[in-house]
Amino acid sequence: MAILPSEHPSPGGPGIEPRWTRSDKDGVGTAYSVSSRVWFTISKGILNEVYYPTIDRPQVRDLQYLITDGETFFRDERHMDNTHACLAPNILGYRVANTDSKHRYRILKEIIAAPHHDCVLIHTRLEADAAVRPKLRLFALLAPHLEAGGRHNHGNVARTNWGDVLAAHKGGIWCVLVASTPFVRGSCGYVGATDGWQDLARDFRMDWEFACAPDGNITLTGEIDTQRTPEFVLALSFGGSLHQALVTAAQALGIPFAEQRTRFIEQWQRVGTHRSPGEEGVTGDGGRLYRVSHRLILAHKDKVFDGAIIASLSIPWGESVGDSPGGYHLVWTRDMCQAAGGLLAAGHTEVPLRAHLPRLYPAAGRRLLPELRDRWGAPLARHPAR
C-alpha cells in the first residue's frame, strides 16, 4: 500500500526551462533479455538518460549522489574524479568510482539493468576516512523527464510499508526510486528553485522536506542512512501505475544484487556465440573492439518492436538546446542499415533479418527514402540535428 500526501507542497513551480544532458557518453547499458525493457546511459560518473518501455522514449534526465559534511563542503558526483570500467570484459554493465579530490572519501557504484525487470539497479558503497566518516551525509537526486520531457512532471514522497519512496508520474508512466536501506527523509522540488541541489548548496544541510511537487520541472531527493550501513542498492523502476512500479522495485531488490549481476553478465556472455570465428584479429587488439562493438549494436535494438535499431542512445547538445523530444534515439535509415550490416559481418543474422528493411524498401526501384523513422517504421520529419 502507498499513500501520496498532498500537504506541504513545494513552492517555486514550475521550475526553470528543462534541459537534457550531454550526449558524450562513457557507457550505455541494458540487459540482453527482452523482459527487461530499460536502457541507461552514463557520463561524468552518474546515470544519465534512462529509456522505458521502448528504446526511443527517455524517462529520466539523470540520477546522481550529493554528499556533504553538513558544515564545510557540498559536492555532486560530476565534480569529483570519475573512473569507470565494465563489470566484466565487453559487458554492458559498469563499475564507477567517484573520488574526492582530496581523497577523503569515494563513492563506488556498480550499475546494471535488472535481468528480468523494468528496473535499473545501482549497488553503492561509500568509503571514507575515519576522521570524516561520522559527518558525511549522502543524498540521491533524481530528475524525472517522463514521457520524453521535463515539463508537467508530478512528484511525491510516497509513504509505503517499507518506508518513504520517491515517486514521479506523468501521463501513463510512473517511476519510483527505492533504496534497500530506507530513505531517512525525502523531498520534492522544482529545478532551480527548491530542488535538493539548491537546498544543500545553501548551507550544506537538507532543510526542505516538501511532500509533493505537482506539474513542473522537478527533482526528487532522498537521504540515505550511510551511518547505519555504507553499502546499499538503489532501484529505479518503471510501470504503468504506482503499484506496478513499486512491485517491480520490490521484486528486483528481493534478489541479492550479486545474483542479479551474475545473471546480467551471463546473458551478455551468451551473445558471443553468434560471432564469426577469426574476426577478432581484424581490430588488432585481441578482439576487444570487435566484441564490444557487437554488443553495443545489439544494445541499440528495441525489445518491443522487433527489428527497430536506433542510431544512438543520446540527445545531441541536450544540455543546451532545450527539452525537445528529438534525438538520435530514433530509427535513422542510414544508421540502421549500417548496424544491420555490422551484425551480418559478425555472423549475427537473426536481428538484421528482423529489421525494418522490408518496410524501408516497400517498392522496387525506389531511390529516395525518408531518412528518419519511428520504432514502427513510419516516416518522421527530418530532425534539425542533421
DSSP per-residue letters across 182-204: -EEEEEEEETTTTSHHHHHHHHS
Q: Give yes or no for a contact between 147 and 171, defined as CB atoms under 8 angstroms apart.
A: yes
Its pTM stands at 0.92
Q: Give yes or no for a contact between 15 and 31, defined as CB atoms under 8 angstroms apart.
A: no
> Which grid coordinates are listed for 143?
530528475
User: Can you name the residues that pair with 170 across neighbouring β-strands?
Assistant: 173
User: Can you name the residues that pair with 167 across neighbouring β-strands?
Assistant: 156, 176
Q: Give yes or no for a contact between 310 and 330, defined as CB atoms under 8 angstroms apart.
A: yes
- The single residue listed with the C-alpha cell 531518412 is 371
Q: State whether the Cα torsion 145-238-9-77 is positive or negative.
A: negative
DSSP category for residue 316 = T
Each of the 386 residues of the chain gets a pLDDT tens digit; together they read 688 988 899 999 999 999 999 888 999 999 999 999 999 999 999 999 999 999 999 999 999 999 999 999 999 999 999 999 999 998 999 999 999 999 999 999 999 999 999 999 999 999 999 999 999 999 999 999 999 999 999 999 999 988 899 999 999 999 999 999 999 999 999 999 999 999 999 999 999 999 999 999 999 999 999 999 999 999 999 999 999 999 999 999 999 999 999 999 999 998 866 566 666 677 778 788 888 888 999 999 999 888 889 999 998 888 887 776 668 888 887 888 888 888 888 888 888 877 755 555 544 333 444 555 555 556 665 544 44
**Cis ω on the peptide bond leading into residue 58 (within 30° of 0)?**
no
What single letter denotes the amino acid at residue 143? A
- CA atoms within 13 Å, Cβ hemisphere of 95: 10
How many whole angstroms separate alpha carbon 383 and alpha carbon 308? 18
Domains and CATH numbers, the chain: 2-263 (2.70.98.10), 275-373 (no CATH)
User: Can you name the residues that pair with 67 across neighbouring β-strands?
Assistant: 75, 138
How many whole angstroms separate alpha carbon 304 and alpha carbon 120? 18
- The single residue listed with the C-alpha cell 541499440 is 300
